[in-house]
């Protein structure tokens, strides 16, 4: 009887561990300017996701998607002067002012962010990070 219980519990424990391995997701997103988005992730991205050489591969596809119709043109770059080790900047094609965008990571839950004109964007960024911007 004990053997059967262990036999049933083990697959559940293994499945639970597997489910949490890829739990990373976007915590927040903000437009830094009309060609850069900053995302804060739940966890750090892998070295592979940050590898700039990936852009040279014919089949490269960013783990991030932005709609409507924004092309990601660079790999995420860690923001070194951030207080967190999970904040990245992503280069994108041109963002339009006063547009609501949706960004997702690996097809998971979409986060929204709104773009503003240059002065308003700077003000929002200062509110987020302080006057040292």
123 lies in which domain range?
Answer: 23-129
Q: Is it the case that residue 48 has pLDDT exceeding 50? A: yes
Is there a domain that residue 61 lies in? yes
Establish if 34 belongs to a structural domain: yes
| Structural domains of the chain, count | 1
> What's the whole-model pTM score?
0.77
Query: Would residue 9 count as lying in a domain?
Result: no
Q: Per the domain annotation, does 67 fall within a domain?
A: yes
Asked if the structure places residue 46 within a domain, the reply is yes
Strand-strand pairing, 64-67 and 77-78: unpaired
Distance of alpha carbon 100 from alpha carbon 69, whole angstroms: 12
Reported as a pLDDT band with limits 50, 70 and 90, residue 18 is very low
d(CA 99, CA 54): 29
Domain-located, residue 14: no
Assign residue 105 the CATH number of its domain: 2.60.40.1130
84 confidence band (pLDDT: 50, 70, 90): confident
Q: Is the CA virtual torsion 121, 124, 129, 133 positive or negative?
A: positive
Q: Does residue 6 fall inside a structural domain?
A: no
- In-domain check, residue 120: yes
């Amino acid at each position: 009887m004990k053997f059967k219980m262990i036999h049933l519990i083990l697959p559940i424990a293994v499945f639970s561990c597997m489910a949490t391995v890829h739990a990373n997701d976007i915590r927040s997103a903000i437009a830094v300017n009309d060609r850069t988005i900053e995302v804060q992730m739940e966890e750090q991205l892998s070295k592979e996701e940050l590898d700039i050489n990936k852009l040279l591969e014919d089949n490269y596809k960013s783990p991030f998607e932005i709609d409507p119709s924004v092309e990601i043109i660079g790999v995420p770059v860690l923001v070194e002067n951030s207080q967190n080790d999970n904040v990245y900047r992503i280069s994108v094609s041109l963002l339009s002012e006063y547009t609501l965008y949706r960004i997702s990571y690996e097809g998971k839950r979409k986060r929204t962010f709104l773009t503003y004109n240059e002065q308003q964007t700077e003000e929002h960024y200062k509110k987020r990070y302080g006057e040292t911007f």
